[in-house]
Chain A
Amino acid sequence: MIHWNSLAEFLAMGRHGPYVWGSLLVMALLMVAEPMLLLQGRKRLIARLRRQYRAEAAERGQAAAGGRSTANGSND
C-alpha cells in the first residue's frame, strides 16, 4: 500500500528531496510559528491590560479616599 520501499527512497524523493523537503519544512515552520506568536501576543496583551486596570483601580481608590491622602499617582 505504501508507495516507498525504504526510508532512504522516501527521503530522496527521486533526486528532488531538497526541493520537496524545503517546501514542507518552511510551510510547517511558519504554520506552527503563526499560532505560537498569536498566543504569546495574547498573553502579553492580557498582562498589560490587567496592569492598566489595576493602576486605574488604584487611582480611583485614591481619588475616592479624597483629600486624606495626596493623589500623586503612585500605585502598587
Chain B
Amino acid sequence: MSNKLINWFRYASPQTFYPLAGRMIPWFWGLAAIFGVAGLGIGFLLAPTDAQQGEGYRIIFLHVPASWMSMFIYLVMAFWAATGLAFNTRLSGMMASALAPTGALFAFLSLWTGALWGKPMWGTWWVWDARLTSELILLFLYIGFIALQAAIDDPRRADKAGAILALVGVVNIPIIYFSVKWWNTLHQGASVSLTKAPSMAAMMLWGMLLCALACWMYSIAVALMRVRVIMLERERHTDWVRALLAGRE
C-alpha cells in the first residue's frame, strides 16, 4: 500500500509529471482528431433530418458537447482545488489553473451555439430562463477564478483563493443540470441522461457522443499543454527546469 502511495506522489511532482504529460499530449491530439472527424462526419453528412427542427438541429453536435464539457471541466477543476486544499500538493493548483481557461472557452461556446440555435427555433437569441442564466453564471465563475488567480502574485496563495472560489461555485453545476426539471424553462429537458433511454435516433446519438469524446480529448490535450507551461513558469528557480532548458528543447 505504501508503495502505491509513494508512486502516486512521485507522479504528482511536477518534475516527473512534466515529461509524462509531454509524451501523452500527441496521443490525445490524435484521438481528438479521430473522434472529431468521425463525430462531425456522422453529424453533418450522415445523420438524418430532424422531424421538428429540420437541418438546423445539427447545431446539437456542437452545442451539447460544449455544454457538457463546460460543466464537467468545472467539476474536475473543483476536484483538483479540493485535493490542493486537503493535501497541499503542488500539482493540484497547477491542474486547476490549467483547466479554467478551457472551461471558460466551452462555457462561452455553449452560450454562443445556444444563441445561434435559439434564434431560428425558439424565436430569440436569449431568454433569462433558469438554464441559460445558470450557464452564464458558470462563465462568470470561470472568469472570476482566472481574474482572482491573476490578481495574487504568490502562486500558493493564488491557488488557495482560487480553490475556495472554485469549491463555492460548484453548487452551480447541479443547478445548471437540473434547472430544466426544477423550474419552468424555455430550454427543453435532457435528451440523454443516465436515468432514461436517450430520446434521440441512434445515428444522431452516435454523432453527438463522438463529438463529445473529441471535446474530452481536446480538453485533456490542451490542459496538459497549459499545465506544462505553468510548471515551467512556477518552477523556474528549480534545478530540473534549469537542466531541462539547458538541453536541446
Interface residues of A (CB under 8 A from B): 1-4, 10, 12-16, 19-20, 22-24, 26-27, 30-31, 34-35, 38-39, 41-42, 45-46, 49-50, 52-53
Minimum CB distance partner of A23 in chain B: B113
CB atoms of A53 and B225 under 8 A apart: no
Residues of B within 8 A of A14 (CB): 49, 54-56
> Contacts A15-B54, A16-B120, A34-B105 hold; do A23 and B59 have CB atoms under 8 A apart?
yes
Q: Is B228 an interface residue (CB 8 A)?
A: yes
CB atoms of A19 and B225 under 8 A apart: no
Q: Which residues in window 91-115 of B have CB below 8 A to A?
A: 101-102, 105, 108-109, 112-113
CB atoms of B221 and A2 under 8 A apart: no
> Contacts A13-B58, A16-B54, A27-B66 hold; do A35 and B221 have CB atoms under 8 A apart?
yes
CB atoms of B109 and A30 under 8 A apart: yes
Residues of B within 8 A of A10 (CB): 44-45
A selection of 17 A-B contacts at a CB cut-off of 8 Å is: A10-B45, A13-B55, A14-B49, A14-B54, A19-B119, A20-B56, A20-B59, A23-B63, A23-B112, A23-B117, A34-B101, A38-B226, A45-B229, A49-B236, A49-B245, A50-B245, A53-B245
Residues of A within 8 A of B66 (CB): 27
CA–CA, A42 and B231, complex, Å: 11
Q: Is B241 an interface residue (CB 8 A)?
A: yes
Pick the contact of B45: A2, A16, A19, A41 (CB < 8 A).
A2
Chain B contact residues: helix, strand, loop or mixed: helix
Q: How large is the interface on B (under 10, 10 to 19, 20 to 34, 35 or more residues)?
A: 35 or more
Q: Is B80 an interface residue (CB 8 A)?
A: no
Residues of A within 8 A of B228 (CB): 42
> Contacts A14-B56, A27-B66 hold; do A4 and B45 have CB atoms under 8 A apart?
yes
CB atoms of B59 and A42 under 8 A apart: no
Q: Is B242 an interface residue (CB 8 A)?
A: yes
CB atoms of A45 and B232 under 8 A apart: yes
Chain A contact residues: helix, strand, loop or mixed: helix
CA–CA, A42 and B102, complex, Å: 16
CB atoms of A38 and B246 under 8 A apart: no
CB atoms of B56 and A13 under 8 A apart: yes
Q: Is B38 an interface residue (CB 8 A)?
A: no
Min CB distance, A49 to chain B, in Å?
A: 5
Extra contacts, 14 of them, besides A14-B55, A23-B63, A38-B226 (Cβ < 8 A), are A3-B47, A12-B55, A20-B56, A23-B112, A23-B116, A27-B113, A34-B105, A41-B229, A42-B229, A45-B232, A46-B232, A46-B245, A49-B241, A50-B245
CA–CA, A52 and B232, complex, Å: 13
Q: Is B143 an interface residue (CB 8 A)?
A: no
Residues of B within 8 A of A27 (CB): 62, 66, 109, 112-113
Min CB distance, A38 to chain B, in Å?
A: 5
Residues of B within 8 A of A53 (CB): 242, 245-246
